[in-house]
């Protein structure tokens, strides 16, 4: 068998197990369900490894594997295949999806053990993995769109997994609809691409675009902007970020997999994938950087004000993806991907950890009702600490430091970078450290307020530990020049994505690194002061309006409510019964009116009839003679 | 001769007006007979002596007698008070107006005729007879059938029911 | 002759099942099932023995009917009609299966009407004589009217009246237009005929062409329906019995779309082009307005009915885009919408059978009671919002893409419909299956019979989503020919006559 | 009188002799069945006679008669309709109390009147025919003299018909004054010699229109129709709706086409207006009607409105269309009234729509017959009415009468509403009403009519060919 | 013989005709209505006589004879019916005989 056909198996296996679970789910035991659900992902992870090995073996020569599975659409000049292609970019994503995914699946077996919907859960999860793999492996943009929507669907299904609570359903729909808004813009962008170039193959499209479109031409800008809209929706960036915090209504493994590690970074993938297009539209690319910067700040502040453990993580996710966008915006492609990978490790870890906390505290989400958990669940504490440290980019030991620093550096140093972007990044980094350790101190230190009802099993802690290790050492695949100058990751990525262009500003990287390390540490220390040493400092802030403003996500929800939701609902209410119906009612009224009118003449009186006779003949004769 | 025509016309119109406006049925019928007689004079003047005779005999004679017979039979005199109520003077207005319009139309139509020329000569009753029994023979036969139908119908409709049910009982 | 047999089998089946209705209730069901299956097998067998699908007319049957007026009994089959035929037979079978338990009274007459409607529908899909076409077009109405009026829900009478009057009024306008075309053609060539093939490329003045086309449009747009003319649809759909709603939504509406493709575009090449902006606008308005109303409804069937309005907006949008992609999309939409909306109506029927209500506010949390039903509902809600991987996506994608070629602005507006579709489709799922349980209904999940129906529909919609080429390749030659004819006749227009010349005396 | 004359008069002679024979029979002994049988036989004979005279035509008996293919055709459909009405009357009349045999005598005289109209070529015959028909109809309408309704309908019809006859006569008189002849053909010649119509002649035509409009129940001379249809015995209503109207239509077409009335601008407008008014007023009046007989009356007003469109086409093809339309209208109306007749009994006339509640489930056969009849009236395909309407619209459009055609279409949609109302009532859940059993003969007749409705609806070609043979191109 | 123009003669007939019409419209008593009809028929016959005299043809008179016949029959049947009406309705008021009418008209 050709090695490349393995690629098709990647999405096929989880899809198959999804089918099995969906069709025969009720005949399977809970154990078998978990086995199939997690096992299939395990196999895929293994397969990814095999493919990766193969890939690395032939590295210098072959950059892309492609496999055509079947002809999908053939209409007019639109010819689309179900076909996958694998390059290093996809490979990184596949790796994250399958490995992190596998760990999360493993974790889920324990996490969902008592939930009656476990079969549904695993079915959806598997479907998600399949869709996500399709997304990253698709060799044409329509197939990518298929995966794109597929993950959206799974996200919807899993957010609303506990369907009995109407709020969950609301959150799920919100997520779907908001991302759908972005997707619609994106599909229009796809239309433009197809209409202009007559193909939907991403590779060809990019070639043709760079050949035919002038840089900065309006069509390129429009197309790039439209695709960006899709990415913004999916990756929960400004102004479409509001769905993600609500999406935490789903089970924690879902948050970990979909709303932290993989799906939300699809936007990053899309932009990276179509990077040439964005290079042709520098305005849009710069807008990405700005959006990223703004988002990371806004989300950072919001995270600081949250009470709900998972919402903190959610805002943190938004913020971190903001970093990735910032990186994309300044053309630091591989930095973005690097941060994506590291982020996947530590954010999955954090979510899983949070999941354990919440689970053992009987669905307690409020961090202020937790506390002192350090002793009671040491494994969770340590892994959570590692995750938070990585998130805060504590220097040297954490992977997050390497990835984030790279972004910060490029935010300033790349050709389109600027000081302002760097300042935003560094403020964000400070905020990150602050809220991360706010979490740690409030949840794990201090006096305990709620007692855990049981201890988490091995199946849950092992993935935590693995992820914690990855969060620590993951960063060593890419070391800055000032510190080891080891770049296998960016070399890998640069097979596909362009190299970041650096302004000629001399070797200041070490300075920036030091600065950010200090900032991160300051953040941690400040958190220690405010939230542990002198909680009164934070308490006063907790009730301020500003805090509430931050907590409500800067009022975006409210704004959208008044601007969009209220008018739409109003519109649908005022004309519920379809005012066109009045046309019919009017006509039938008219007919009935005429009927009653004419009916008067049919009153049975002979002389009336005679009168109508005579009037009729009078009219006829007068008309005929004197018209 | 024209004078006679106008006199006859005047009488005819006058008596017709009287006929349609009397409350008493018998009076009205007598005026009607007068009107028919006047018209028969006109027929005579229009070189139709035979028709004039027929008018007197059949119309004024037979048909009107039939009327009088029915009026007598139903003893309509009793309903005189009703007639008074029915014959509200205002009720004349609209019908007269309508008929007036039609008459004006007819008058105008006639004034447009213009080129009608008068032929001289008479139509003798003999001619009428010959025409009736040659050209229009089939018409006469049909008229016979028509009369037969009339007779049967009049018989059927006027015969009383043997079984008398009260009309209220007949209702469904 | 196979085409004639197809119709004859249905007619024969119709009368047989009516007669059999006196004997037992099961017999008519079996008879109609057999008749439809026979038809399906017949047509499939016929297709399988064909070498190629590339000829425009796969089979052509032409016989005199009323020669004095140039009316013939002309039936022909091409890829487009073939698809519609298979769809009709398949959904016919489905509609019989779903009525198995629902219809308890006057079973014989019910099946009589059902088969008669189907006969009318396939007649419409096959006729190549305009008079015959009109004949079948009207033939569908009466049995449908009976179906709604006898076996429908509470307000069935008003609904059936509305349905009948709307379609009849518009149909008569089309009839006038057919006659006008006949005369115009006869006058310019001396050949008085209703034959489609001969009427193609009729020379006429622009105004004449436009007016005649409007007559045709009236009928098709009402059937489709397009927004200001759509009022009959929600009533008819929501009041009809499940099989009735299914046939209405899945098949009857498609006759309108078919008519546009088969008649309006090739017969009136230049008028249809000049009408295109209005047509596309109507489509967009339909998409958005239908979606808006769908969102506001609390009656499940009514909601689905309005989604039909919205989805059919895509069809007209595609038809007036005049390119192959859009047309392929239209064909896909016809089929995918038939399956997905049909399935939703079936779902509504199943729910009604169990809960005796269609009120969404009384439902909620039914997933717990009926997960399979929920899953099916979910899939078709997803289909209806155009989720990739399901048939509707391909349809809407192709239509929007085609429309984008023709008119960027309209296509972008129409894309907003995708968002709107998301809103209402998710509302369906949420209101019925998710959320808190309001009532304490206890009922069974789908029975085996219902599962088979649902499963087959799910398989088809997924099949359409991932193997759309089955449909696309079949319809391709027919659509290409249509476009060719349209383009050809559009070029040589020496049009001098006007509609006023229609009056003539010899 | 030549031999050919006599030959050509055979159908009329049979029609004239039959009532006399019946009278003689009655005078010996009254037997309903014998009279009935003899009547049917005579009608069949009269019809058969048409085939014998066919070779001798066209033949005219100066000045009154003209017997050509056209009149032969009308004679045929008049005889057939009369035959079916007689057939349907059997039970209905039999159930009446008192003498009943006279019914058939009058049926013959009225048929004779109608037949004469079909061959009339002269005002005298026109007048005599119309009067023979009317006078017989007075009697038929009021035949159930024990019933208020019957008598009331009779007197209303009598007075209105007499007035209309007076107008007709006055109009004829004026035309005679204007042209010096009462023969259609001579009037036509005179018109063509004189040039444009004088105002006297136009006044005359206008007044004649009253008489004809009354008989055809065209607006504004329509008011009697519902009352008379309701009051008259059901078969008689059928007779009025078909034979009487058909015969008048026959003479109207002949006269109108002779004088080329469609060429006169004002006459054209007047007739268009009358047609449009008839369609709309007829249909609108019917929409809330609860009484089926009245409903059918209104429907007939509208249908006559559709039919006179044909007058304005001014072509032989138009006449063909009108003939087809008439036939389809005849069988449809007879079938509808036939159902009413068969479901009525001496005490209870099945005339309210509510009487038909649930008919579909109680008497499926009758209900289907009735449904088809109503659908045919509405012009829905597979029924004769559809082809009839198609034909009329076809010829109307060919002649460029777009306004009329559109009016026809819009009003027929209004019309559809009330037909549907009746149908809906029939298939709504069964009501309480008990309905009489239907005889085999009745069923057979209805079945035959219904099948012919269907045949004409599905395969009308042969009839069109026949009509073409009779009227020529 | 008369030297009166034919227009005047017909006008006379017309006056009689419309007088009859007025009578018909005004009177509610059916017997009077029947009488008015007779006036109208008679005046219509008068037109034929006038026309026949004008064209010097016997046809007008022949027509009159037929009209006479018909008028007689109509009167006979009309009176018979009026008798029946009187029996049924106990009135001769034409307006009171209105059982047959549209149920939704007053």
User: pLDDT tens, C83-106?
Assistant: 899 999 999 999 998 888 888 888
Q: What is the pLDDT of residue D298?
A: 93
Chain-centroid distance of CA A428 in Å reads 20
Whole-number Å distance between alpha carbons of D158 and D131 = 11
Average pLDDT over residues A532-559: 77
Interface of E with A (CB under 8 A): 21, 24-25, 28, 33, 94-95, 97-102, 104-106
Beta strands in A41-121 (DSSP E): 65-75, 78-86
> A559 Cβ partners below 8 Å, 6+ apart?
none
Interface of D with C in 272-331 (CB under 8 A): 314-315
Residue D346 has pLDDT above 70, yes or no: no
Q: How far is CA C79 from CA A120, C53, C469, in A?
A: 41, 7, 13
Residue A4 has pLDDT above 70, yes or no: no
Can you say whether residue D383 is alpha, beta or left, with left for phi > 0 and alpha for psi between -120 and 50 degrees? beta
Q: What is the pLDDT of residue B81?
A: 61
Whether A and C touch, i.e. at least 3 CB pairs below 8 A, reads as yes
Give the chain A residue nearest B106 (alpha carbons). Answer: A621
Whether C and E touch, i.e. at least 3 CB pairs below 8 A, reads as no
In 3D space, the residue among C134, C128, C150, C106 whose CA is nearest the CA of residue C62 turns out to be C128
Q: Kindly indicate the confidence band of residue C504, based on its pLDDT and cuts at 50, 70 and 90.
A: very low
User: Over pLDDT 70: what percentage of chain A?
Assistant: 97
List subunits contacting chain C, requiring 3 or more Cβ pairs under 8 Å.
A, D
Average pLDDT over residues A140-150: 89
Where do the domains of chain E lie? Answer: 29-104
Three-state DSSP state, D394 = helix
Residue D133: both structure tokens together: 């028909």
pLDDT digits (tens, 9 = 90+) for B121-136: 677 888 888 988 888 9
Q: How far is CA C432 from CA C183, C293, C299, C300, C352, in A?
A: 55, 18, 11, 9, 12
Whole-number Å distance between alpha carbons of C308 and C234 = 9
Whole-number Å distance between alpha carbons of E20 and E34 = 10
Q: Kindly indicate the confidence band of residue A62, based on its pLDDT and cuts at 50, 70 and 90.
A: low
E96 and chain B in contact, CB less than 8 A: no
Three-state DSSP state, D291 = strand
Q: What is the pLDDT of residue B28?
A: 87
Whether D and A touch, i.e. at least 3 CB pairs below 8 A, reads as yes
Least CB–CB distance from B20: residue in E11, E36, E72: E36
pLDDT digits (tens, 9 = 90+) for A243-274: 888 888 888 888 888 888 888 888 888 888 88
Nearest CA distance, A615 vs chain E (angstrom): 11
Q: What is the pLDDT of residue E63?
A: 93
Where do the domains of chain C lie? Answer: 2-505
Q: What is the pLDDT of residue B82?
A: 67
Average pLDDT, chain D: 89
Whole-number Å distance between alpha carbons of D63 and D65 = 6
Query: DSSP alpha helices (H): ranges in C103-252?
Result: 107-126, 130-139, 141-151, 156-189, 196-199, 206-223, 232-239, 242-247
Clarify whether residues D165 and D92 are in a common domain: yes
Where do the domains of chain B lie? Answer: 2-119, 123-172
Clarify whether residues D398 and D375 are in a common domain: yes
Best to test chain B binding among A608, A625, A627 (most B CBs inside 10 Å): A625
Q: Which residues pair with D122 in a beta bridge?
A: D183
- Inter-chain residue contact C179 with D409, CB threshold 8 Å: no
CB C287 within 8 A of CB C314: yes
Whole-number Å distance between alpha carbons of A414 and A512 = 13
Clarify whether residues D231 and D286 are in a common domain: no
Whole-number Å distance between alpha carbons of C473 and C46 = 17
Q: Kindly indicate the confidence band of residue E36, based on its pLDDT and cuts at 50, 70 and 90.
A: very high
Clarify whether residues D292 and D439 are in a common domain: yes
Q: What is the pLDDT of residue D348?
A: 76
pLDDT digits (tens, 9 = 90+) for C367-425: 888 888 888 888 898 888 888 888 899 999 899 988 888 888 888 888 888 888 888 88
Overall domain count for chain D: 2
Average pLDDT over residues D240-252: 93
Q: What is the pLDDT of residue B120?
A: 59
pLDDT digits (tens, 9 = 90+) for A14-59: 889 888 888 887 787 888 888 888 888 888 888 888 888 877 776 6
Whole-number Å distance between alpha carbons of A402 and A476 = 8
Average pLDDT over residues A202-224: 85
> D350 Cβ partners below 8 Å, 6+ apart?
D292, D340, D343, D344, D356, D433, D435
User: Over pLDDT 70: what percentage of chain C?
Assistant: 96
- The DSSP result for C44-79, as a single string, is HHHHHT-S-S-SS-SEEEEEEEEGGGTEEEEEEE-H
Clarify whether residues D176 and D94 are in a common domain: yes
Give the chain D residue nearest A616 (alpha carbons). Answer: D220
pTM: 0.89
Least-confidence region, from A54-63, A237-246, A298-307, D390-399: A54-63
Q: Kindly indicate the confidence band of residue E1, based on its pLDDT and cuts at 50, 70 and 90.
A: low
Average pLDDT over residues E75-88: 89
Q: Kindly indicate the confidence band of residue D134, based on its pLDDT and cuts at 50, 70 and 90.
A: very high
> How many Cα atoms occupy the beta-carbon half-sphere of C161 within 13 Å?
19
Residue C501 has pLDDT above 60, yes or no: no
Clarify whether residues D209 and D276 are in a common domain: no
Average pLDDT over residues D53-65: 83
Beta strands in D204-321 (DSSP E): none
Q: Kindly indicate the confidence band of residue D111, based on its pLDDT and cuts at 50, 70 and 90.
A: very high
Q: At what angle do helices D32-53 and D102-119 cross, to 10 degrees?
A: 20
Q: What is the pLDDT of residue D452?
A: 93
Whole-number Å distance between alpha carbons of A606 and A602 = 10
CB A206 within 8 A of CB A277: yes
Best to test chain A binding among D206, D281, D291 (most A CBs inside 10 Å): D206
Residue A169 has pLDDT above 90, yes or no: no
Whole-number Å distance between alpha carbons of C12 and C31 = 10
Q: Domain range spanning residue D328?
A: 261-473
Give the chain E residue nearest A597 (alpha carbons). Answer: E105
Clarify whether residues D233 and D86 are in a common domain: yes
- Inter-chain residue contact A621 with B102, CB threshold 8 Å: yes
The ipTM is: 0.86
- Inter-chain residue contact A73 with C368, CB threshold 8 Å: no
Residue B79 has pLDDT above 90, yes or no: no
Clarify whether residues D277 and D215 are in a common domain: no
First CA to last CA distance, chain A = 96
Average pLDDT over residues C121-149: 90
User: Domain B2-119, CATH 1.20.120.1200 — does that match?
Assistant: yes
> Counting Cβ atoms within 10 Å, is residue D200 exposed (0-12), middle (13-18) or buried (19+)?
buried
Q: What is the CATH number of domain E29-104?
A: 1.10.287.3510
- Backbone φ, ψ for residue A304 (5° rounding): -65, -25
Cα angle value D80/D86/D92 (rounded, 5°): 150
Whole-number Å distance between alpha carbons of B142 and B146 = 6
Q: Kindly indicate the confidence band of residue C496, based on its pLDDT and cuts at 50, 70 and 90.
A: very low
Whole-number Å distance between alpha carbons of D208 and D202 = 10
pLDDT digits (tens, 9 = 90+) for C320-340: 888 888 899 999 999 999 999
Clarify whether residues D345 and D450 are in a common domain: yes
Largest CA distance in chain A: 117
> Counting Cβ atoms within 10 Å, is residue D115 exposed (0-12), middle (13-18) or buried (19+)?
buried
Computed over its alpha carbons, how large is the radius of gyration of chain D?
21
Chain C neighbors of A223, CB-CB under 8 A: none
CB A234 within 8 A of CB A148: yes
pLDDT digits (tens, 9 = 90+) for A314-323: 888 888 888 8
Least CB–CB distance from D409: residue in C69, C176, C180: C176
Q: Kindly indicate the confidence band of residue A63, based on its pLDDT and cuts at 50, 70 and 90.
A: low
* DSSP assigned state of B116: P
Q: What is the pLDDT of residue A394?
A: 80
Residue D375 has pLDDT above 60, yes or no: yes
Average pLDDT over residues C28-36: 90
Residue D358 lies in a domain: yes
Residue B118 has pLDDT above 60, yes or no: no
Average pLDDT, chain C: 86
Residue A157 has pLDDT above 80, yes or no: yes
Q: How many of the other CB atoms lie within 10 Å of CB of A244?
A: 30
| b/e map C287-313, b = 16+ CB within 10 Å | bbbbbbbbbbbebbbbbbbbbbbbbbb
Average pLDDT over residues E41-57: 90
Q: Kindly indicate the confidence band of residue B161, based on its pLDDT and cuts at 50, 70 and 90.
A: low
Three-state DSSP state, A450 = coil
Computed over its alpha carbons, how large is the radius of gyration of chain E?
18
Q: How many of the other CB atoms lie within 10 Å of CB of A538?
A: 18
Residue C343 has pLDDT above 70, yes or no: yes
Q: What is the pLDDT of residue E104?
A: 64
Whole-number Å distance between alpha carbons of C117 and C92 = 10
Three-state DSSP state, A80 = strand
Chain B neighbors of A618, CB-CB under 8 A: 98, 101-102, 105
Give the chain D residue nearest C133 (alpha carbons). Answer: D381
Q: Kindly indicate the confidence band of residue D165, based on its pLDDT and cuts at 50, 70 and 90.
A: very high
Residue A138: both structure tokens together: 């698709």
Task: Map tokens 């079909």 to a residue.
Answer: D118
Least CB–CB distance from B157: residue in D64, D129, D145: D145
Whole-number Å distance between alpha carbons of A128 and A258 = 8
Average pLDDT over residues B97-107: 81
Return the H-helix or E-strand segment holding D441.
helix D440-458
Residue D56 has pLDDT above 90, yes or no: no
Q: At what angle do helices D364-378 and D384-398 cross, to 10 degrees?
A: 0
In 3D space, the residue among A37, A27, A154 whose CA is nearest the CA of residue A459 turns out to be A37
pLDDT digits (tens, 9 = 90+) for C240-266: 888 888 998 889 999 999 999 889 888
Chain-centroid distance of CA C126 in Å reads 14
Average pLDDT, chain A: 83
């Amino acid at each position: 068998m050709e090695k490349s056909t393995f690629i098709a198996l990647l999405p096929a296996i989880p899809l198959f197990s999804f089918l099995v679970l969906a069709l025969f789910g009720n005949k399977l035991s809970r154990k078998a369900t978990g086995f199939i659900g997690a096992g299939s992902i395990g196999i895929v992870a293994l397969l990814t490894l095999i493919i990766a090995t193969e890939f690395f073996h032939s590295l210098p020569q072959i950059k892309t594997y492609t496999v055509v599975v079947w002809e999908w659409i053939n209409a007019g000049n639109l010819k689309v295949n179900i076909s996958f292609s694998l390059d290093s970019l996809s490979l990184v994503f596949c790796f994250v999806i399958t490995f992190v995914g596998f760990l999360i699946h493993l974790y889920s077996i324990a996490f969902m053990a008592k939930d009656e919907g476990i079969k549904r859960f695993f079915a959806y999860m598997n479907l998600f993995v399949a869709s996500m793999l399709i997304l990253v492996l698709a060799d044409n943009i329509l197939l990518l769109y298929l995966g794109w929507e597929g993950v959206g669907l799974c996200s919807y299904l899993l957010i609303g997994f506990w369907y009995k609570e109407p709020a969950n359903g609301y959150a799920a729909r919100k997520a779907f609809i908001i991302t759908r808004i972005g997707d619609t813009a994106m599909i229009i962008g796809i239309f433009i691409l197809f209409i202009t170039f007559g193909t939907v193959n991403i590779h060809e499209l990019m070639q043709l675009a760079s050949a035919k479109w002038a840089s900065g031409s309006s069509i390129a800008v429009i197309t790039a902007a439209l695709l960006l809209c899709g990415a913004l929706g999916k990756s929960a960036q400004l102004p479409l970020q509001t769905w993600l915090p609500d999406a935490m209504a789903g089970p924690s493994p879902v948050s970990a997999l979909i709303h932290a590690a993989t799906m939300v970074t699809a936007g990053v993938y899309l932009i990276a994938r179509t990077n040439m297009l964005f290079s042709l539209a520098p305005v849009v690319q710069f807008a990405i950087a700005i959006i990223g910067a703004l988002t990371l700040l806004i989300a950072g502040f919001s995270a600081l004000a949250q009470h709900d453990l998972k919402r903190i993580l959610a805002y943190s996710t938004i913020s971190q993806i903001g970093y990735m966008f910032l990186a994309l915006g300044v053309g630091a492609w591989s930095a973005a991907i690097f941060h994506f990978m590291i982020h996947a490790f530590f954010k999955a870890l954090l979510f899983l950890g949070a999941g354990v906390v919440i689970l053992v505290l009987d669905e307690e989400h409020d961090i202020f009702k937790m506390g002192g958990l350090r002793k009671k669940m040491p494994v969770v504490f340590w892994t959570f600490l590692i995750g938070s440290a990585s998130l805060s980019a504590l220097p040297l030991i954490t992977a997050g430091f390497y990835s984030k620093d790279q972004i910060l550096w490029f935010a300033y140093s790349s050709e389109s970078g600027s000081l302002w972007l760097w300042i935003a990044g560094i403020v964000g980094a400070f905020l990150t450290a602050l809220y991360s350790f706010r979490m740690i101190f409030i949840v794990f230190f201090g006096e305990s307020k709620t007692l855990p009802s049981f201890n988490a099993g091995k199946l849950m802690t092992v993935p935590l530990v693995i992820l914690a290790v990855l969060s620590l050492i993951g960063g060593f695949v890419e070391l800055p020049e000032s510190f080891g100058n080891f770049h296998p990751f960016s070399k890998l990525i640069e097979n596909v994505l362009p190299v970041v262009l650096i302004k000629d500003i001399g070797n200041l990287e070490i300075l920036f690194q030091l600065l950010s390390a200090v900032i991160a540490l300051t953040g941690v220390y400040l958190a220690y002061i405010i939230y542990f040493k002198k909680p009164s400092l934070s308490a006063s802030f907790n009730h301020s309006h500003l805090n509430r403003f931050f907590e409500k996500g800067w009022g975006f929800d409210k704004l959208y409510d008044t601007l969009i939701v209220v008018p739409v609902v109003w519109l649908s209410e005022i004309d519920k019964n379809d005012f066109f119906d009045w046309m019919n009612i009017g006509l039938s009224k008219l007919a009935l009116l005429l009927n009653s009118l004419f009916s008067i003449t049919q009153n049975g009186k002979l002389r009336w009839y005679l009168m109508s006779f005579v009037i009729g003949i009078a009219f006829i004769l007068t008309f005929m003679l004197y018209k | 001769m024209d004078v006679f025509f106008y006199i006859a016309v005047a009488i005819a119109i006058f008596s017709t007006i009287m006929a349609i406006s009397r409350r008493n049925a018998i009076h009205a019928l007598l005026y009607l007979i007068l009107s028919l007689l006047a018209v028969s004079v006109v027929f005579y003047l229009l070189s139709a002596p035979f028709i004039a005779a027929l008018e007197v005999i059949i119309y004024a004679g037979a048909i009107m007698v039939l009327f009088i017979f029915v009026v007598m039979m139903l003893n309509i005199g009793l309903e005189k008070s009703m007639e008074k109520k029915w014959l509200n003077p205002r009720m004349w207005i609209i019908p007269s107006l309508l008929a007036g319009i039609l008459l004006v139309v007819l008058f105008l139509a006639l004034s447009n005729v213009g080129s009608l020329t008068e032929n001289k000569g008479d139509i003798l009753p003999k001619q009428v007879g010959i025409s009736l029994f040659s050209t229009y023979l089939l018409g006469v036969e049909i008229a016979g059938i028509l009369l037969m139908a009339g007779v049967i119908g009049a018989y059927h409709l006027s015969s009383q029911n043997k079984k008398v049910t009260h009309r209220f009982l007949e209702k469904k | 002759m196979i085409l004639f047999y197809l119709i004859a089998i249905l007619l024969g089946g119709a009368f047989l099942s009516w007669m059999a209705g006196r004997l037992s209730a099961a017999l008519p069901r079996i008879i109609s099932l057999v008749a439809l299956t026979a038809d399906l097998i017949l047509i499939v067998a016929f297709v399988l023995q064909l070498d190629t699908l590339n000829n425009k007319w796969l089979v052509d049957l032409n016989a005199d009917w009323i020669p004095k007026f140039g009316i013939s009994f002309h039936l022909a089959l091409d890829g487009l009609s073939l698809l519609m035929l298979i769809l009709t037979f398949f959904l016919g079978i489905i509609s019989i299966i779903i009525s198995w338990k629902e219809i308890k009274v006057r079973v014989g007459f019910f099946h009589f009407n059902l088969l008669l409607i189907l006969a009318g529908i396939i007649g419409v899909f096959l006729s190549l004589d305009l008079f015959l076409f009109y004949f079948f077009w009207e033939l569908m109405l009466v049995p449908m009217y009976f179906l709604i009026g006898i076996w429908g829900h509470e307000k069935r009478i008003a609904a059936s009246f509305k349905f009948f009057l709307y379609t009849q009024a518009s149909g008569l306008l089309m009839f006038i237009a057919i006659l006008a075309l006949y005369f115009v053609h006869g006058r310019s060539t001396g050949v008085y005929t209703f034959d489609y093939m001969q009427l193609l490329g009729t020379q006429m003045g622009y105004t004449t062409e436009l007016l005649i086309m409007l007559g045709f449009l009236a009928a098709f747009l009402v059937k489709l329906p397009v927004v200001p003319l759509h009022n009959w649809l929600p009533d008819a759909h929501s009041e009809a019995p499940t099989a009735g709603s299914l046939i209405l939504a899945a098949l009857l509406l498609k006759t309108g779309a078919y008519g546009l493709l088969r008649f309006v575009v090739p017969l009136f090449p230049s008028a249809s082009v000049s009408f295109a902006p209005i047509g596309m606008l109507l489509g967009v308005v339909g998409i958005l307005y239908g979606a808006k109303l769908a969102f506001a409804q609390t009656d499940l069937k009514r909601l689905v009915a309005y989604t039909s309005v919205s989805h059919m907006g895509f069809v007209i949008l595609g038809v007036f885009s005049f390119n192959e992609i859009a047309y392929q999309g239209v064909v896909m939409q016809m089929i995918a919408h038939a399956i997905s909306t049909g399935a939703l109506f079936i779902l509504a029927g199943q729910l009604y059978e169990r809960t005796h209500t269609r009120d969404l506010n009384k439902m909620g949390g039914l997933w717990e009671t009926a997960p399979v039903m929920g899953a099916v509902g979910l899939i078709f809600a997803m289909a209806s919002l155009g989720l990739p991987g399901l048939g509707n996506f391909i349809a809407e994608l192709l239509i929007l893409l085609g429309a984008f070629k023709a008119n960027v602005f309209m296509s972008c507006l129409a894309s907003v419909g995708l968002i709107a579709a998301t809103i209402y489709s998710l509302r369906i799922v949420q209101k019925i299956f998710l959320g808190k349980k309001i009532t304490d209904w206890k009922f069974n999940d789908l029975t085996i019979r219902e599962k088979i129906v649902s499963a087959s529909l799910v398989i088809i919609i997924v099949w359409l989503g991932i193997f759309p080429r089955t449909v696309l390749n079949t319809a391709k030659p027919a659509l290409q020919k249509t476009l060719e004819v349209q383009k050809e006749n559009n070029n040589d227009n020496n049009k001098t006559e006007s509609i006023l010349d229609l009056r003539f005396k010899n | 009188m030549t031999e050919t004359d006599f030959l050509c008069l055979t159908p009329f002679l049979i029609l004239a002799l039959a009532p006399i024979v019946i009278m003689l029979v009655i005078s010996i002994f009254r037997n309903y069945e014998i009279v009935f049988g003899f009547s049917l036989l005579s009608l069949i004979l009269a019809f058969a006679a048409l085939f014998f005279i066919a070779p001798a035509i066209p033949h005219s008996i100066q000045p009154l008669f003209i017997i050509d293919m056209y009149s032969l055709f009308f004679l045929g459909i008049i005889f057939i309709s009369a035959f079916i009405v007689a057939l349907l009357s059997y039970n209905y009349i039999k159930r009446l109390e008192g003498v009943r045999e006279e019914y058939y005598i009058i049926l013959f005289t009225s048929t004779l009147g109608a037949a004469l109209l079909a061959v009339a070529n002269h005002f005298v015959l026109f007048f005599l025919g119309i009067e023979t028909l009317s006078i017989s109809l007075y009697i038929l309408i009021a035949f159930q003299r024990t019933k208020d309704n019957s008598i009331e309908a009779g007197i209303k019809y009598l007075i209105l018909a007499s007035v209309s006859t007076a107008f007709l006569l006055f109009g004829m008189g004026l035309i005679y004054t204007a042209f010096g002849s009462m023969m259609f053909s001579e009037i036509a010649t005179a018109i063509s010699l004189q040039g444009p119509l004088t105002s006297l002649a136009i006044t005359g035509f206008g007044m004649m229109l009253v008489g004809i409009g009354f008989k055809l129940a065209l607006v504004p001379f329509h008011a009697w129709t519902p009352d008379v249809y309701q009051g008259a015995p059901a078969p008689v209503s059928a007779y009025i709706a078909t034979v009487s109207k058909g015969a008048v239509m026959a003479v109207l077409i002949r006269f109108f086409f002779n004088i080329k009335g469609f060429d006169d601008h004002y006459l054209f407008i007047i007739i268009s207006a009358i047609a449009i008014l008839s369609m709309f007023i007829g249909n609108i009046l019917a929409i809330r009607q609860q009484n089926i007989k009245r409903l059918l009356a209104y429907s007939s007003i509208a249908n006559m409105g559709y039919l006179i469109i044909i007058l304005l086409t001014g072509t032989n093809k138009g006449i063909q269309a009108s003939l087809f339309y008439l036939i389809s209208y005849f069988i449809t109306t007879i079938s509808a009234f036939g159902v009413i007749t068969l479901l009525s009994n001496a005490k209870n006339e099945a005339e309210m729509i509510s009487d038909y509640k649930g008919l579909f489930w109680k008497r499926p056969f009758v209900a289907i017959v009735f449904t088809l009849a109503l659908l045919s009236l509405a012009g829905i395909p597979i029924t004769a009415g559809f082809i009839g309407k198609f034909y009329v619209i076809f010829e109307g459009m060919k002649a460029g009468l777009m306004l009329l055609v559109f009016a026809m279409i819009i009003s027929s949609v209004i019309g559809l509403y009330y037909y549907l109302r009746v149908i809906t009532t029939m298939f709504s859940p069964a009501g309480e009403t008990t309905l009489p059993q239907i005889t085999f003969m009745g069923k057979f007749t209805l079945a035959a009519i219904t099948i012919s409705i269907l045949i004409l609806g599905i395969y009308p070609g042969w009839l069109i060919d026949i009509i073409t043979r009779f009227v020529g191109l | 013989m008369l030297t009166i123009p034919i227009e005047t003669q017909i006008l006379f007939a017309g006056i009689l005709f419309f007088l009859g019409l007025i009578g018909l419209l005004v009177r509610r008593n059916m017997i009077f209505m029947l009488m008015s009809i007779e006036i109208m028929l008679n005046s219509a016959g008068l037109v034929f006589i006038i026309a026949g005299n004008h064209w010097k043809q016997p046809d007008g008179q022949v027509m009159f004879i037929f009209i006479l016949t018909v008028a007689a029959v109509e009167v006979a049947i009309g009176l018979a019916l009026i008798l029946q009406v009187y029996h049924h309705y106990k009135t001769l008021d034409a307006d009171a005989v209105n059982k047959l009418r549209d149920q939704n008209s007053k």
